[in-house]
Structure 1
Amino acid sequence: MLRGAGVVRSRFVAFTPFLRSYGVNFFKSDGEYAKKLWLKTHIFTLRCRNSSNRTMHVRQSKFVNEKFCDELHFFFMCGAVPCVLVAFIVNTLLGQAELVETPEDYEPHYWEYYKHPITRFISRHMMWSPQQVYENNLAYQKRAMESMELVAEEKWFQESELAHRDYRGWQFIPVNPAGVLRKGRLVFAIVCLLLSFLLAKARVSWALLSPRCIGTHSLLHIHVFQRNMPPTFFSFPFVQPSGVC
């Protein structure tokens, strides 16, 4: 069948140049007659080149036709032929299902209600179950009901504003600051206040006053100066490597 279609297509493509050549020769004869009239009345120099006449015929492209035939052949051989073979083998070897007595403790699956094996395969592996379809419809209806409730609530709100002559505006809720401050922040704030007060009252300077090494210890002195009080010295041993001042 495909070979016959190819032969018809080739004959049709081969017949088209004759139609084109007839039109080309018709216009070509008119052009030659006008050229002869023009040569009789004008004198000019004609350049002659040693070349042949026009031997290239312009014809339509075969790309679209060949592409269509190739795709038709591909889909027929890779799609229709395997499907027909599978259907023939299934109907010959397996056949359709028959009604039997169902055991009491067995619940049939939804794809077992179909008779043909191919229909069962498609329903089981390529389609949604009736339970999924039912739940999807329920979810769609629930979303639609929620949107309708929101529209009704917005309408009630607008009617209430119109009835009470109310409008949307800023509002402020009084808040107790004692409940806002947490325990840790409150303790941190108190410690910061005490440290700032002590630093304002006293001036602390750290210095290493020992000019030479005293064994393996040196003295670190802290001078605390307060108002109307003599300076007080606190000494702490500071461990250093031996031989380092």
Structure 2
Amino acid sequence: MVVFSCIRQVLSPGARGTMMAVCKKPMHLSVIKPWQLYAVRYMSSGGKRTMVIVPSKYMWNHFKNDLHFFFLIGLIPLGLLILYCNIFIGNAQLADIPEGYEPKNWEYYKHPIERWFARYVYETPQKSYEKYMHVLYVEKEKAKWRMFEKRVKKVMQEKQDYKGWYYIPVDTQYMKTTKTPSVPYR
């Protein structure tokens, strides 16, 4: 019995191909049973078919579950929040500014969600302006020091009375002791 089941597995693709070649017409396809088109795993010593081997759908099901989960967790509450803001709070209305009152930077936005982002997430315009001014100051200082260094090098080249920026004096004490004399000792 074991020999026949081993032969069946070896001959299965060829037999299936032969059967499909013979039954190309649609009226003969009813001869082939659906379980004959796939590799079949038999259990219980050649009993009836118990498991059809098909490609796994695990990743597809996992993707659908994740998509559904994140849709429910993210988009639905966000949509409800936007709906609530549009229905109950609404857009801001233009009005005159009272005397002596200086509006905050987030009060210039029309929609309540934009106002919330401007207040808690985005930088204030004053802060971003100060950061930009600092960057300009640093670049101006670098340019000033580059011009100064260029001028110093030019003067050093003209006068040629200075050793240079990167001159490191060498201690000659050890050179004298390790130097081989040009005239050997007698």
TM-score bin, normalised by smaller chain: 0.5 to 0.7
Tell me which amino acid in the other structure corresponds to 1:157: V
Question: Rg bigger for which structure?
Answer: 1
Query: Could you say which structure has the higher strand fraction?
Result: 1
2:35 aligned partner: none
For 2:99, what is the secondary structure of its paired residue? Answer: coil
Which amino acid is 2:134 matched to? A
Closer, same or farther: CA 155–57 of 1 in aligned 2, 3 Å: farther
RMSD: 3.0
Residues 1:99 and 2:94 are matched in the alignment: yes
1:133 to 125, 128, 134: 128
TM-score (norm 1): 0.47
TM-superposed CA distance for 1:157, in Å, is 2.5
Q: Does 1:51 align with 2:37?
A: no
Is 1:124 aligned to 2:119, yes or no?
A: yes
Report the counterpart of residue 180 of structure 2 in structure 1: none
1:88-118: per-residue Cα shift (whole Å, max 9, x none)?
1111111111112211111111111111111
Q: Specify the alignment match of 1:29 in structure 2.
A: 15
Q: How does 1:35-184 map to 2 (within 5 A)?
A: 51-52=45-46, 56-165=51-160, 166-168=162-164, 169=167
- Deviation for aligned residue 1:73: 1.2
Q: Residues 156 and 71 (structure 1 numbering): CA distance in 2 closer, same or farther, change over 3 Å?
A: farther
Superposed displacement of residue 25, structure 1: 8.2
Residues 159 and 60 (structure 1), Cα distance of their counterparts in 2 relative to 1, 3 Å cut: farther
Q: 1:101 to 1:30 in 2, by over 3 A?
A: closer
Aligned pairs for 1:213-232 (under 5 A) are none
Distance 1:26 1:122 in 2: 65
Change beyond 3 A, Cα 1:111–1:105: same
- In 1, the alpha carbon distance for the partners of 2:11 and 2:86 equals 63
Q: Which has the higher helix share?
A: 2
Q: How does 1:230-245 map to 2 (within 5 A)?
A: none
Number of aligned pairs? 131
Q: Percent identity?
A: 33
Change (3 A) 1:152 1:25: farther
Amino acid paired to 1:147 = K
Q: 1:98 to 1:27 in 2, by over 3 A?
A: same
TM-score normalised per structure 2: 0.60
Partner AA of 1:134 in structure 2: Y
2-structure distance, mates of 1:153, 1:59 = 77
Give the unaligned 5+ runs of structure 2: 1-9, 19-43, 170-186
- Report the Cα distance in structure 2 between the residues aligned to 1:56 and 1:160, rounded to whole angstroms: 92
Label 1:70 to 1:31 Cα distance change in 2 as closer, same or farther (>3 A): closer
Say if 1:132 and 1:27 are closer, same or farther in 2 by CA, change over 3 A.
same
Structure 1 unaligned spans of 5+: 1-23, 33-49, 172-245
